[in-house]
Amino acid sequence: MDMPKIGLGTFRLQGQQVVDSVLTGLELGYRHIDTAQIYGNEAEVGQALRQSGLPREQVFLTTKIWTENLGREKLADSLRRSLDLLGVEQVDMALIHWPSPGDELPVAEYMEALALAKQQGLTRRIGVSNFTIAHLRQALAAVGPGEIANQQVEVHPFLQNRKLLAFCREQGVPVTAYMPLAYGKVMDEPLLREIAARHRASPAQLALAWLLRQELAVIPSSTRRANLAANLQAAALRLSEAEMDAIAGLERGERLAAPEFGPRWD
């Protein structure tokens, strides 16, 4: 199964809230669900998958390995715990959530451990998240060309990560944009509102369409049925080159995911 370009993110969703969001999303047609060990909601995501009644092979499921589990002796066991919580035998993709803080552990160590987890059948694909160009170079060297199936990174009109995205394209690493709506800030941007009005769309749909046009996958999250449905419809929007360029002009380096342990960005 190929990874659907529009997925449902579950960051910050907890308890029944995430169950309801995932169930509604699956009912509306989402077939790509993204979670992570640190989100603390893998069990609820698994519950929603079971309640949906959909065959396992119809839903692309991604989880991410947290930094404390990156050690060679910890990674696979942590992924097995994630599988138990999710109630599945295998995820479709497992990502390293962040590089080892301060590069305490070598990239090669945890990438090789992740590749071994794939060989053991714990995940169908492997990838990374929040990797700089330097980290990506090391990861590619560790597991070989073609093995990194995805890089998740923050991308939205206000933070476009152009240098990093260009490197990913050069290396054939597909990219998923997380926080594609900049925590809802796109809704208040005058330019996005103006262009969206021409298309009889919302600024959120416009931002997603802009990212999709660049061959990026997106994983917006929502707890509202109307928003979940509207996000899916973004794929039908057709933006002109002039509109694409105008939105590109909104770049201002506004990084929202900036934990203290994060890497030095390109």
Q: Read out DSSP for 123-174?
A: EEEEEEES--HHHHHHHHHHH-TT-EEEEEEE-BTTB--HHHHHHHHHHT--
Q: Is residue 160 part of a domain?
A: yes
Count of structural domains within the chain: 1
DSSP-derived 3-state class of residue 190: helix
Q: State CA 36 to chain mean position distance.
A: 10
Please count the residues of the chain: 266
Verify whether residue 39 is a known catalytic residue.
Answer: yes
**From CA 126, how far away is CA 117, in angstroms rounded?**
9
Q: What angle do CA 3, 8, 14 make, to 5 degrees?
A: 135
What is the CA angle 87-180-10, rounded to 5?
20
Here the CATH number for the domain that contains residue 137 is 3.20.20.100
Residue 225, domain member (yes or no) = no
In a domain, 101, yes or no: yes
The residue from 30, 39, 110, 178 that is catalytic is: 39
Domain membership flag for residue 259: no
Residue % of the chain over a pLDDT of 70: 100
In this prediction the pTM is 0.97
Instruction: Quote the pLDDT of residue 1.
Output: 81
Range of the domain at 174: 8-183+215-220
**Predicted confidence pLDDT, tens digits, the chain (266 residues):** 899 999 999 999 999 999 999 999 999 999 999 999 999 999 999 999 999 999 999 999 999 999 999 999 999 999 999 999 999 999 999 999 999 999 999 999 999 999 999 999 999 999 999 999 999 999 999 999 899 999 999 999 999 999 999 999 999 999 999 999 999 999 999 999 999 999 999 999 999 999 999 999 999 999 999 999 999 999 999 999 999 999 999 999 999 999 999 999 99
Task: For residue 241, tell me if it sits in a domain.
Answer: no
Within a domain: 176: yes
Give SS3 for 61.
strand
Query: Is residue 99 in some structural domain?
Result: yes
CA dihedral (263, 176, 191, 225) in degrees, to 10, reads -120
